[in-house]
């Protein structure tokens, strides 16, 4: 499984702000690192979030809830989760901007649990079929 780095998240944030406006900058890098670390958290030697969708949900919710950036936390959170899924062979191109925006707001307002967020991500993702041919 491929994971995003702190630098990856900061680049995604910069690209989002450049594309859609707002203020750049990381407000609290510790909270950003925490969102990344939570994806791989273990309890008694077992992954706390074993599925790719749970891991993506933890990242998404962590960025939205913890507000590590000065601006654009919802946009960066949703895009980071989608990039993570894409890196690991999932196609999320069926998602419309409005659907992503509405869901990010719902996460922020309703404080959705990880299983709910993971289920939404799974419902909006398709496993890419690779043939092995270039």
For residue 51, give both structure tokens: 């599925």
User: Phi, psi at residue 42, to the nearest 5°?
Assistant: -120, 150
46 within some domain: yes
CATH label of the domain that carries residue 119: 1.20.120.1870
Which residues 6+ apart lie within 8 Å of 7 measured at CB? Answer: none
**Would residue 86 count as lying in a domain?**
yes
State which residues form the domain around 34.
Answer: 6-15+28-126
Q: Which helix (H) or strand (E) holds 109?
A: helix 97-110
In a domain, 133, yes or no: no
> Rounded distance, CA 44 to CA 58, Å?
19
Structural domain tally of the chain? 1
**Region 120-128 average pLDDT:** 93
Q: Which of 49, 53, 52, 65 is nearest to 106 (CA)?
A: 65
3-state DSSP assignment of residue 51: coil
| Average model confidence (pLDDT) across the chain | 93
pLDDT at position 128 is 78
Q: Does residue 21 lie within any of the structural domains?
A: no
Query: Does residue 1 form part of some domain?
Result: no
pTM passes above 0.85: yes
- Residue 89: other Cβ atoms inside 10 A: 15
Per-residue model confidence as pLDDT tens digits over 68-102: 999 999 999 999 999 999 999 999 999 999 999 99
Note the pLDDT tens digit of each residue in 41-62.
999 999 999 999 999 999 999 9
Give me the percent of the chain exceeding a pLDDT of 90.
Answer: 93
* Spatial separation of the C-alpha atoms in residues 10 and 61, rounded to whole Å: 16
In a domain, 132, yes or no: no
pLDDT per residue over 11-46, tens digit each? 999 999 999 999 999 999 999 999 999 999 999 999
Contact between 63 and 73 under an 8 Å Cβ cutoff? The reply is yes
Closest to 40 measured CA to CA, from 58, 13, 25: 58
What is the reported pLDDT for 131? 47
Tell me, yes or no, whether 134 lies in a domain: no
């Amino acid at each position: 499984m491929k994971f995003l780095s702190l630098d990856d998240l900061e680049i995604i944030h910069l690209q989002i702000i450049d594309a859609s406006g707002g203020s750049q900058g990381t407000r609290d890098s510790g909270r950003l690192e925490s969102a990344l670390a939570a994806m791989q958290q273990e309890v008694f030697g077992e992954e706390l979030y074993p599925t790719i969708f749970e891991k993506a949900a933890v990242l998404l919710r962590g960025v939205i809830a913890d507000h590590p950036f000065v601006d654009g936390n919802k946009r960066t959170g949703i895009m980071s989760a989608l990039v993570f899924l894409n890196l690991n062979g999932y196609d999320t191109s069926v998602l419309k901007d409005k659907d992503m925006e509405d869901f990010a707001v719902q996460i922020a307002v309703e404080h959705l649990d990880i299983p709910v967020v993971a289920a939404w991500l799974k419902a909006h993702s398709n496993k890419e079929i690779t043939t092995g041919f270039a």
